[in-house]
């Protein structure tokens, strides 16, 4: 038995609409929306009363997915310092391969994304950069040349 694939990554957000817009600007599509609550979630996650809205988004090829979750209960909590330093334990960033990197950066800038540093190039093979989006999320963008 072995892992077949990575199905999706969950990102807990404060503002579901803003973060959905950010990932739409990146090129992901909404493939599902739901409100989740109930005994099963309470049993999985611990203290009862879980209540959250989720948006499932997928890359254009359908192979990569990001689930955005905004909790009403339990109360959302922000980890300090914010944004967390790169050495903080936990998920630090999500990497996406894109085409038209400059155009993607422009679209992300229109919805609150900020380029961190410069776009690096590996001698005609790859362009790479980091973008800090709303709520401090960092994504890596790569473009094969």
Domain holding 121: CATH number? Answer: 3.10.180.10
Would residue 17 count as lying in a domain?
A: yes
CB atoms within 10 A of CB 70: 17
Q: How many domains does the chain have?
A: 1
Would residue 3 count as lying in a domain?
A: no
Note down pLDDT in tens along the chain; length 145 residues.
788 888 999 999 999 999 999 999 999 999 999 998 888 777 877 767 788 999 999 999 999 999 999 998 888 888 788 777 777 777 888 999 999 999 999 999 999 999 999 999 998 899 999 999 999 899 999 999 9
Cα 110–115–119 angle (5° rounding)? 125
Query: To which residue do tokens 């994504």 refer?
Result: 139
**Residue numbers of the domain that contains 104:** 9-144
Would residue 124 count as lying in a domain?
A: yes
Which strands, in side-by-side order, build the sheet including 114-122? 94-97, 138-144, 126-132, 114-122
Would residue 48 count as lying in a domain?
A: yes
Would residue 2 count as lying in a domain?
A: no
């Amino acid at each position: 038995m072995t892992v077949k694939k990575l199905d999706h990554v969950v990102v807990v957000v404060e503002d579901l609409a803003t973060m959905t817009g950010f990932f739409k600007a990146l090129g992901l599509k909404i493939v599902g929306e739901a409100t989740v609550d109930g005994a099963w979630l309470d049993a999985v996650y611990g203290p009862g009363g879980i209540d959250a809205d989720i948006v499932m988004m997928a890359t254009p090829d359908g192979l990569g997915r990001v689930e955005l979750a905004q909790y009403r209960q339990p109360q959302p909590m922000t980890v300090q310092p914010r944004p967390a330093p790169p050495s903080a334990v936990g998920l630090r960033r999500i990497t996406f391969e894109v085409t038209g990197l400059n155009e993607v950066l422009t679209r992300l800038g229109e919805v609150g994304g900020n380029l961190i540093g410069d776009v690096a190039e590996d001698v005609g093979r790859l362009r790479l950069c980091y973008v800090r989006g709303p709520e401090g999320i960092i994504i890596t963008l790569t473009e094969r040349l």
